[in-house]
Structure 1
């Protein structure tokens, strides 16, 4: 599901079962991330799939990348793997004006 920034962040803040997933490269991740995010680089292909399969499918995932394309793709993959809830951040980090660490 695609969400605009305010809805994505506010839904995350109210969600006791939430995980933020950053699907950018390590270099992008290390240059600044949304607080608490875990990094899984979608460009790792099958390795990305293996990492996803280690995650708890009962959690709600808030997924982002640089501009929203890779994260939309990641949400699609997650849905195919049986994840019930994956929210894509429209605009990604390029339009993010929330907290960064």
Structure 2
């Protein structure tokens, strides 16, 4: 499901079963992340799928990338392999006005 920046942020803030998934590249990840995000680069192909299979499918996933395209694709893939609740951040990090931190 595609959510506006505002809806994504407010729904995430109220969700006690949330995980944040960053599907950008490692280089993009180093530029700053939404706090609490985990990295799974969608460009890794089968490696991306393997990492998804390790995640808890009962959680709600808030997915983002740089502009919203890769994260929409990631949500579609996740839904196909059994993730019930995925939320794409429309506009991605390019339009994100919330907190951004350096990855640990």
Q: TM-score range by the shorter chain?
A: over 0.9
Q: Shift of residue 34 of structure 1?
A: 0.3
* Aligned Cα root-mean-square deviation (Å): 0.3
Q: In 2, Cα distance between the equivalents of 1:30 and 1:55?
A: 22
TM-score (norm. length: structure 2): 0.96
What corresponds to 2:53 in structure 1? 53
TM-score (norm. length: structure 1): 0.99
Segments ≥4 residues shifted beyond 2 Å: none
Note the 1:64-83 alignment, pairs <5 A. 64-83=64-83
Q: Secondary structure at the match of 1:97?
A: coil
User: How many residues are paired up?
Assistant: 101
What corresponds to 2:98 in structure 1? 98
